[in-house]
Amino acid sequence: MKRKQILSVVAFLVMLPLLSGCWTLVAAGAGAYGGYKMKENGYTLQNPITKEKSKKSSK
């Protein structure tokens, strides 16, 4: 019985890093889908790092 528990814990610890990449892909897919649905409803995304154009330099 003890040997079976140890084997199952070792199998779980080996599988855990393999599943972490899958969860990352699922989260990225969910974020992309949410962004797509927001775009359909009229929301837009804006780059927070933009250089403002000065009014004096444009003539």
pLDDT single digits (tens) 8-59: 999 888 887 777 777 788 889 998 998 888 888 887 767 665 566 666 655 5
| pLDDT at residue number 12 | 87
pTM comes to 0.45
| pLDDT at residue number 54 | 65
Q: How far apart are CA 57 and CA 59, in angstroms?
A: 6
| pLDDT at residue number 47 | 65
